[in-house]
Chain A
Amino acid sequence: MRFLGAIAAALLVAGAVGAAEIPQADRRSGYSFMKPDTKTMQDDDTANPGMLWVLDGETLWNRKVGSAGKACADCHGNARNSMKGVAISYPAFDKATGRPIDLEQRINSCRTNHQQATPLPFESRELLALTALVARQSQGASIETGADPQLAPFIAKGRELYMQRQGQFNLACANCHDDNWDKRLAGAAITQGHPTGYPLYRLEWQSLGSLQRRLRACITGIRAQAYDYGAPELVELELYLMSRARGMPLEAPGVRP
């Protein structure tokens, strides 16, 4: 498979960190590192704050906007049917730009091209709500991102970024999430960094947030220069992480401490 070939090639050249990839059987969602009360909060729709965004998303889904005067529902019908299993393949290859785009960017491209409305800002309540609504329709389905062979070079780039030491602390993502995932960084459990729950509600944020927000936080945490929202590098990291999580169930909207 070309996908695996690209990973193998990246393994040979990267070498920046001596990390071994986590074997399939040992992969664990961030969920499994949480305390029981936080797990319950995620599991129970009436307690999961992320469901408020999903509900907002339903309202927005049916609202006509832009100069085309169309709602998402006008083209896609009921999200529960049409959006089922969509999020498990994102980021996906976008023919128009010849690059991977994530779910937020996919939704914004419908805003721009099909609704003829202005794109929604990253981390805006509306964009998070629509993303949560779409992602929610894949809850429990296995992640498939990366199956498209056109994505291979971008996955390899994401992996390179993941393995690269950076910032004033000179740490790579892999130093924490591959090499030390069973340990604690002061009070925080270091997870394997699987992006299975996004967008998710973080108690620390008091809000839903995107995977890009989480990645920017880790990058700033090691005192490196965070990439801007929507930057190709962030999408490549998202893509690598999602392809690394292939076969794991999507949990969006997740909850994290």
Chain B
Amino acid sequence: MWLAAALLTPPAPAGAQALQPYAVVGDAIPEPLTNARGDISRGRALVVERSSTCILCHSGPFPEQKFQGDLAPDLSGSGNRWSEGQLRLRLVDASRLNAATIMPSYYRVDGLTRVGALWRGKPILSAEQIEDIVAYLVTLRE
């Protein structure tokens, strides 16, 4: 089932173009990756969509989702625990915060091994998708 989720995902719309540059300040990326603000409802839709893979590992306030993972913290209250910039870095490249993490780096293309041809050179999510998800996570205040 989890495999189907991965396979059915269309290759990230980001395409193979270069990633947007970003600056890490402390444990955060304070500035958005895009000019437009993220969209909260698109962000929620992305998080609960199995193909985005978040709920393979996480649970959260998604009563309509029967199957949620328990490999990672519940996403409820993310917006209390973390600032927008901290959430952005967590999504872009969680391994910068915890080198041993199992959470994939959603906006990174280098330093990976044997990436399948379909996904090579592409981030898992586009800059726009990251911003949508960040905008949604900020609203999760238990």
The 8 A CB mask of B1-42 against A (1 = contact, 0 = none) is 111111100000000000000000000000000000000000
A187 with B117: in contact, given A18-B100, A170-B95, A220-B6 (CB under 8 Å)?
no
Contact B113 A166 (CB under 8 A): yes
Total A-B pairs in contact (CB under 8 Å)? 90
Tell me the bound Cα distance from A208 to B11 in angstroms. 29
- Chain A min CB distance to B122 (Å): 8
The 8 A CB mask of A145-188 against B (1 = contact, 0 = none) is 00000000000000000001111111100010001100111111
A175, A180, A184 — most chain B CB neighbours (10 Å): A184
Q: Among the listed A164, A166, A175, A188, which residue makes an inter-chain contact with B2, where contact means beta carbons less than 8 Å apart?
A: A188
A164 with B113: in contact, given A186-B69, A188-B1 (CB under 8 Å)?
yes
A170 with B105: in contact, given A185-B57, A225-B117 (CB under 8 Å)?
yes
Q: Which residues of A contact B104 (CB under 8 A)?
A: 168-171
A165 with B2: in contact, given A170-B105, A186-B69 (CB under 8 Å)?
no
Contact B116 A224 (CB under 8 A): yes
Contact B112 A170 (CB under 8 A): yes
Contact A218 B114 (CB under 8 A): no
Interface of A is mostly: loop
Considering only residues 52-95 of chain B, those with a C-beta below 8 Å from chain A are: 53, 55-57, 66-71, 95
Contact A204 B1 (CB under 8 A): yes
Q: Which residues of A contact B6 (CB under 8 A)?
A: 169, 220-223
Contact A184 B69 (CB under 8 A): yes
Contact B69 A223 (CB under 8 A): no
Contact A165 B3 (CB under 8 A): no
Any chain B CB within 8 A of the CB of A8?
Answer: no
Tell me the bound Cα distance from A206 to B30 in angstroms. 49
Q: Which residues of A contact B4 (CB under 8 A)?
A: 204
Tell me the bound Cα distance from A225 to B118 in angstroms. 9
How many of chain A's residues touch chain B, expressed as a range? 20 to 34
Tell me the bound Cα distance from A224 to B116 in angstroms. 4
Nearest-CB residue, chain B, relative to A179: B102
Considering only residues 194-231 of chain A, those with a C-beta below 8 Å from chain B are: 204, 217-218, 220-226
Q: Which residues of B contact A171 (CB under 8 A)?
A: 102, 104
Any chain A CB within 8 A of the CB of B124?
Answer: yes
Contact B115 A225 (CB under 8 A): yes
Contact A226 B66 (CB under 8 A): no
Q: Which 7 A-B pairs have the closest CB atoms?
A: A187-B67, A221-B3, A186-B67, A168-B119, A169-B104, A166-B114, A166-B113
Instruction: Provide 22 A-B residue pairs closer than 8 Å at the C-beta atoms, listed in order of the A residue.
Output: A167-B112, A167-B115, A168-B122, A169-B124, A171-B104, A179-B102, A183-B70, A183-B71, A185-B2, A185-B69, A186-B1, A186-B55, A186-B67, A186-B68, A187-B67, A190-B71, A220-B7, A221-B2, A221-B7, A225-B114, A225-B115, A225-B116
Binding site for A on B (CB under 8 A): 1-7, 50, 53, 55-57, 66-71, 95, 100, 102, 104-105, 112-119, 122, 124
